[in-house]
Amino acid sequence: MRPGQVISDIITKASALSDREIYFQAVEDLVSGSTKLTECRVRKGMVEDFGGEYKMVTEESAARQKILDALDVLRKIADIPELDPDVLSALVIEDYFTNRNK
């Protein structure tokens, strides 16, 4: 199942819960953390390819932690396996760009 569908299913499930705002915030954190981590990885790759200093170490760590924290919250209502934040963020972003025009 693609990440976008899993997120959609979690939102549907959370919408029926009285404490749904916690889960909606976790989904938002998951997506924003994924976006930020992807941005950090792109910038790191540019520095590795073209030289310079990578200055986003703090942001990269914070994005990873944001993803992990969001997953911990979402695991309370969904069966989510342990995932590497880098892999998950790449899948979320890839899924978005692959399916946004469908």
Q: Which pLDDT score, from 0 to 100, does residue 33 have? A: 95
How far is residue 51's CA from residue 49's CA, in Å, rounded to a whole number?
6
Q: Is 6 exposed, middle or buried (0-12, 13-18, 19+ CB in 10 A)?
A: middle
How many domains in the chain? 1
**Domain that includes residue 38, residue range:** 3-99
Q: Evaluate whether 14 touches 24 at the Cβ level (below 8 Å).
A: yes
Would you say residue 4 has pLDDT above 70?
A: no
DSSP SS3 for 56: coil
Q: pLDDT digit string (tens) for 42-94?
A: 999 999 999 999 999 999 999 999 999 999 999 998 888 888 899 888 888 88
22-37 average pLDDT score: 93
